[in-house]
């Protein structure tokens, strides 16, 4: 499995398993299968309410802690004290004493609150409890502000990215600042059977004797993006994992870039109240 380095040198596998909307029971069953297939990178979040299930299965798996990689995300913005409690809870739930990549799940509209949360995350990074740190759903404006004030710069931004939302300008912006892009909804939440995406992706899939899902994943991998497709289906775990072997031609990459419609399947982070709640 290809590893991707953050600017601090820490590496995680480029292809992982997304776990949003997996119930604890589904997460348990899926993690067991995913490990058999070869997945070693698991993307969860406090909001997904499956950290306990994932932590349990990884613990039981027999894998050593350094043999698998965990991303989790702080569900919300709180006082410093409560933020620390939430972080400690994640560590307990995931049955680990460190997290490979820890993210702020959603920005707050108040830049000072983002910074206050970030200071806590920096503290855990300095203690070695987080090996890499970053954000999710941050707009350029929010990222600029964080970069200006951060002691430790964020290493990743997890944002919606797929053939209908290629994020070319944002990827360039992040690349220039050595921030890794992690794609969420890499399979367009299953909507790739819609026109015009289907026609183009199906033809490219045919060229490679592959499936459309595999082409969507390979397109992201070919761009050095960290990909975390989610599935609870055993055959799709295998299918999605095999996408790492597909190399698309420059022309095929361009054909997929041309599908960009700025189409989102999730809320636009610039217009959401996620992350605005405080306890």
Ligand X SMILES: NC(=O)c1ccc[n+]([C@@H]2O[C@H](COP(=O)([O-])OP(=O)(O)OC[C@H]3O[C@@H](n4cnc5c(N)ncnc54)[C@H](OP(=O)(O)O)[C@@H]3O)[C@@H](O)[C@H]2O)c1
CB of 211 to ligand X, least distance (A): 6
Give the separation between CA 174 and CA 145, rounded to whole angstroms: 14
Q: Does 190 bind ligand X (CB under 6 A)?
A: yes
Which residue from 158, 166, 167, 170 is in contact with ligand X, where contact means CB under 6 A?
158
Number of residue whose CB is nearest ligand X: 18
Active site residue 69: no
At residue 224, φ and ψ (nearest 5 deg) are 65, 25
At residue 173, φ and ψ (nearest 5 deg) are -60, -45
Give the separation between CA 75 and CA 45, rounded to whole angstroms: 7
Q: Does 236 bind ligand X (CB under 6 A)?
A: yes
């799709």: which residue's tokens? 236
Taking the least distance from each CB to ligand X, the nearer of 13 and 229 is: 229
Q: Does 233 bind ligand X (CB under 6 A)?
A: yes
Which among 84-92, 125-133, 146-154, 179-187 is the span making contact with ligand X, rule CB under 6 A? Answer: 179-187
Give the separation between CA 108 and CA 126, rounded to whole angstroms: 23
Q: Does 228 bind ligand X (CB under 6 A)?
A: yes
Which among 50-58, 80-88, 114-122, 188-196 is the span making contact with ligand X, rule CB under 6 A? Answer: 188-196
Taking the least distance from each CB to ligand X, the nearer of 251 and 259 is: 259
Residue-by-residue DSSP string for 109-169: SSHHHHHHHHHHHHHHHHTTSEEEEEEES--HHHHHHHHHH-SS---EEEEE-BTTB--HH
User: Pick the catalytic residue: 10, 39, 48, 173?
Assistant: 48
Give the separation between CA 118 and CA 241, rounded to whole angstroms: 33
Q: Does 50 bind ligand X (CB under 6 A)?
A: no
Give the separation between CA 268 and CA 271, rounded to whole angstroms: 5
Q: Does 51 bind ligand X (CB under 6 A)?
A: no
Taking the least distance from each CB to ligand X, the nearer of 27 and 87 is: 27
What residue ranges bind ligand X (CB under 6 A)? Answer: 18-20, 43, 105, 136-137, 158, 184-190, 211, 213, 228-233, 236, 239-240, 266
Tell me the catalytic residues.
48
């Amino acid at each position: 499995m290809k590893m991707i380095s953050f600017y601090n040198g820490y590496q995680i596998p480029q292809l992982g398993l997304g776990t949003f909307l997996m119930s604890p029971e589904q997460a348990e069953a899926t993690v067991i299968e995913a490990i058999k297939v070869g997945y070693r990178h698991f993307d969860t979040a406090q909001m997904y309410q499956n950290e306990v299930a994932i932590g349990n299965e990884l613990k039981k798996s027999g894998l050593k802690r350094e043999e698998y990689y965990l991303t989790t995300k702080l569900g919300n913005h709180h006082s410093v004290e409560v933020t620390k409690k939430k972080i400690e809870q994640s560590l307990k739930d995931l049955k680990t004493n460190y997290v490979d990549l820890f993210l702020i799940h959603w920005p707050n509209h108040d830049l000072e609150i983002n910074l206050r949360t970030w200071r806590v995350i920096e503290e855990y990074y300095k203690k070695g409890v987080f090996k890499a740190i970053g954000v999710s759903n941050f707009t350029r404006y929010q990222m600029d502000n964080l970069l200006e004030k951060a002691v430790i710069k964020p290493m990743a931004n997890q944002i919606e990215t797929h053939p209908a939302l290629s994020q070319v300008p944002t990827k360039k912006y992040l690349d220039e600042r050595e921030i890794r892009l992690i794609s969420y909804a890499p399979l367009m939440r299953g909507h790739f059977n819609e026109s015009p995406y289907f026609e183009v992706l199906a033809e490219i899939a045919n060229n490679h004797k592959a499936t459309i899902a595999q082409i969507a994943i390979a397109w992201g991998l070919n761009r050095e993006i960290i990909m975390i497709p989610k599935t609870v289906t055993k055959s799709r775990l295998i299918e999605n994992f095999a996408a790492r072997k597909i190399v698309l031609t420059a022309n095929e990459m361009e054909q997929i870039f041309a599908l960009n419609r700025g189409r989102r399947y999730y809320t636009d982070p610039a217009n959401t109240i996620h992350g605005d709640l405080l306890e």
